[in-house]
Amino acid sequence: MPVPDNKLILLGKIIKVHGYGGSVMISLEDNLPEEIPEMEWVFIEIEEKPVPFFVSSVKEHASGNIILKFDGYNSSEVMTEFRGCRVFISQGDIEDKREILPQLILTGFKIFNQSDEYIGLVKKVMSLPMQYMLVLQGDEDDELLIPLNQDWIIEIDKDEKIIIMELPDGIIRINQ
């Protein structure tokens, strides 16, 4: 099966659930650098598509594997479904160790489209089974939902708390 996105690097495979709190053990690939970068999120391949999961903790295991715990997943029963899935990290995490912002830090960011039009203010990030959604407050106090898709992000300005996104045509109309 090909890598789902050429910007992703295979970290390893989920080999088992670890403990009762929803952590999983990842068998690492041999071609990774000696030091694994700090991970804010990873992509789990589900039905041949990379799905982002925010990482709440990373621990090294004596076996040379790593233990990952994901935000919002606190049950070993739920995580059993992911056994055997491949796990990817962003190529940027390895090349320059740029970190993708965790969901809590996105609250309060202003979203603009590629034409520099204001879309809304991030009120929260909603976790759904297959992806995260940005919940925005629009100009007229309307609520907009935008999928948090890394490929749509053009630029993030942490200082100004601005995210510029290349949004597909019609995504705003779906919310109205």
Domains of the chain: 8-95 (2.40.30.60), 103-174 (2.30.30.240)
Residues 111 and 146: beta-carbon distance below 8 Å: yes
Please, which residues have CB within 8 angstroms of residue 173's CB and are 6 or more apart in sequence?
none
Q: How far is CA 99 from the centre of its chain?
A: 11
Residues 9 and 91: beta-carbon distance below 8 Å: yes
**What is the pLDDT at residue 150?**
80
- For 38, what's the count of Cα atoms within 13 Å in the CB-facing half-sphere? 8
User: In terms of pLDDT, which residue wins out, 75 or 35?
Assistant: 75
| Whole-angstrom distance, CA of residue 143 vs CA of residue 134 | 10
* Residue 65 banded pLDDT, cuts 50, 70, 90: confident
* Residue 100 banded pLDDT, cuts 50, 70, 90: very low
User: In terms of pLDDT, which residue wins out, 61 or 69?
Assistant: 69
**What is the pLDDT at residue 57?**
86
**What is the pLDDT at residue 96?**
40
Residues 144 and 121: beta-carbon distance below 8 Å: no
User: Which of 176, 160, 168 minimizes the C-alpha distance to 113?
Assistant: 168
Q: What average pLDDT does the segment 55-65 reach?
A: 83
Residue type, 142: D
Q: What average pLDDT does the segment 45-69 reach?
A: 86
Please, which residues have CB within 8 angstroms of residue 131's CB and are 6 or more apart in sequence?
51, 52, 147, 148, 149
**What is the pLDDT at residue 61?**
79
CA distances from 165 to 21, 56, 135, 169 (A): 35, 25, 14, 12
